[in-house]
Structure 1
Amino acid sequence: MAYLQENGYAVQVNDVSDLTAVKNQYQVPAALQSCHTAVVDGYVVEGHVPVTEIEQMLTERPDIIGVAVAGMPPGSPGMDASGATQPYDVVAFDEAGNMEVMASYK
C-alpha cells in the first residue's frame, strides 16, 4: 500500500476478516490470489503489481476484470526490502476466467 501511495495513488484501507469473500466478490481466480486486493478506477489489482502495469491498464482500458501478481514474490513492489528477487508474472484476467501474462519480471 505504501508503494501505491509513493506513486501518487490515494489508498483507502479496509481491514476485513474474510479475504476469500473479497476475492470472490471481485472474481480473482484462485491461482492468482495474493495478500492485497485493490480496486483502481473500476479495475481489480491483486497483490504486488508494479505501477507500470496498473498505469498501462488504466490507459488502455482493456476488457478485463483486472491484473494480479500471485503470491508474494521477493523483488516485487513492496517485497524488495531483503534484496532477494524471484521471477514473477503480472497476469490480466477477465470475466470468462481467461488469464494472460501482461508482463514478466526476472
Structure 2
Amino acid sequence: MNTTRRTLLNLLGLAALLPLGACAGNIGKPMVEVWKSPTCGCCKDWVAHMEANGFIVKTFDTGNNDMRARLGMPVEFGSCHTARVGGYVLEGHVPASDVRHLLTEKPKALGLAVPAMPIGSPGMDGPEYKGRKDPYDVLLVQRDGAASIYRSYR
C-alpha cells in the first residue's frame, strides 16, 4: 500500500471517531429535561446554572403546568419551570448541588422543589437583584405530596 493511500485511510479512520469523541465528553453527565416558558429569563438562567455544573439540559418551551401535573408534583410546590432527571421531578430553582446529592443519595421520593421564585436561588440571582438573597428551603417531596426540608439556604 502506498504512503498516500495509507495516510488517507488513517485520516478517514480518525474522522470516523470524531463523533464518538464528541459524545465521550458527555459520559457521566446527567440529562435534565426542562419544561418552561420561552420568554422566562430566570428559567434560562437556571438552565445555564445546571449546564455550568455539569448537567446536559434539554429544554421544552411549553407545557410547564401540564408536565408538573403529569409528573405528579403538587401545585402548591409550583414554580416557573418543571424538570425531570434520573427518575426524579425538580420544580423551580433547585441548586445543582442539591440535585447531585439527590442523584447520589437516591431517596424514595418524587423529587425536589423550591416553591415560588426566591431571590438568590440559582436563576434568580442575576445582577438585577443587586446581591439580594432571600432565605429559602429546598423541599424533598414524597409521592403522596408530603414534603420535608431537604436543605435550607439562609
TM over 0.5: yes
Q: Percent identity?
A: 41
Matched residue, 2:59:
13
Distance (Å, rounded) in 1 between the aligned partners of 2:120 and 2:51: 18
2:146 to 86, 91, 98: 98
The alignment status of 1:79 with 2:124, answered yes or no, reads yes
What amino acid is the match of 2:66?
A: A
TM-score with structure 2 length normalisation?
A: 0.65
Matched residue, 2:86:
41
Distance (Å, rounded) in 2 between the aligned partners of 1:35 and 1:59: 26
What amino acid is the match of 1:93?
A: V
Q: CA deviation at 1:29?
A: 1.4
Between 75-84 and 60-69, report the one with greater CA deviation: 75-84
Q: CA deviation at 1:19?
A: 2.7
- Unaligned 5+ residue runs, structure 2? 1-46
Q: How does 1:37-76 map to 2 (within 5 A)?
A: 37-76=82-121
Say which structure is richer in helix: 2
Distance (Å, rounded) in 2 between the aligned partners of 1:51 and 1:28: 19
Distance (Å, rounded) in 2 between the aligned partners of 1:69 and 1:30: 12
**Larger RCO of the pair (alpha carbons < 8 Å, separation 6+):** 1
Please give the root-mean-square deviation of Cα atoms over the aligned residues, in Å.
Answer: 1.0
SS in 2 for 1:54: helix
Q: CA deviation at 1:80?
A: 0.9
Larger Rg: 2
TM-score with structure 1 length normalisation?
A: 0.93
Q: CA deviation at 1:31?
A: 1.6
After TM superposition, what 4+ stretches of structure 1 lie above 2 angstroms from structure 2?
Answer: none
- Unaligned 5+ residue runs, structure 1? none
